[in-house]
Amino acid sequence: MMKHLLYLFLLLTPTLLLVSCKTDYQNIPTYTGTRQLQAVIEVPAGNNHQLKYDLKKQEFVNAKDAGKDKLVEFLPFPGNYGFIPSTELGQNDRGLNILVLSERVETGSVLEVLPVGVLQLETAGNLEPVIVAVPARPSDRTISATTMSELTKKYPAAKEIIRLWFTHENPALNTKFVAWRDEQFADQEIQRWMKL
């Protein structure tokens, strides 16, 4: 009997240790070893429930508004929304915002991406950049634009949809559109936000 209990203990201990380990998504590298930008997805494309990464719990939780789960009372997210890891925390305790234009991926996915540009917004007098990106792997892309010039030329309606969505998803914030910036500006913005 003791032999069986010891065997069971030895068998279950590594499993329990693995289950208790959590990924610290905020502090994974901004770039992979091959210099590919990474994005952590909080809210999958097509979702109306707003999720966020809780730094203390190191898990994804429902964002709250007046104690209730935050629900976007507008059209669903037009892409996979999240943050760039290992970037400075903004006013909302999250890294640099990113929207990945691709098929839906699940919360907690870490994607290798190419920045296409930046959507600059203003909320309550603060500039809020949103990096707009596509998957690095061409087979994962739903649009064939890897620069702002290509996005503007091939998908002008997509740019307009993204702009309208971000300026209307929460009327209480009174978010204003400032400008679209290109992929070089996006790279500079990412460098500026990276933790030293």
Q: What is the pLDDT of residues 14-67, one digit of tens each?
A: 444 444 568 899 999 999 999 999 999 999 999 999 999 998 999 999 988 888
Look up the pTM and report it. Answer: 0.88
Tell me the sheet residues that pair with 141.
Answer: 102
- pLDDT band at 90; cut points 50, 70, 90: confident
The answer to whether residues 51 and 92 touch, using CB atoms and an 8 Å cutoff, is: no
Decide which of 11 and 196 is more confident.
196
- pLDDT band at 185; cut points 50, 70, 90: very high
pLDDT value for 3: 59
- Bridge-based pairing of strands 126-135 and 97-100 is parallel
pLDDT value for 17: 42
The answer to whether residues 60 and 52 touch, using CB atoms and an 8 Å cutoff, is: yes
Quote the CATH superfamily of domain 22-193. Answer: Inorganic pyrophosphatase (3.90.80.10)
Q: What is the pLDDT of residues 149-171, one digit of tens each?
A: 999 999 999 999 999 999 999 99
Q: What is the pLDDT of residues 104-151, one digit of tens each?
A: 999 999 999 999 999 999 998 899 999 999 999 999 999 999 999 999
Q: Secondary structure of the chain: what % helix, strand, coil (to 5)? A: 30, 35, 35
Q: Where are the domains of the chain?
A: 22-193
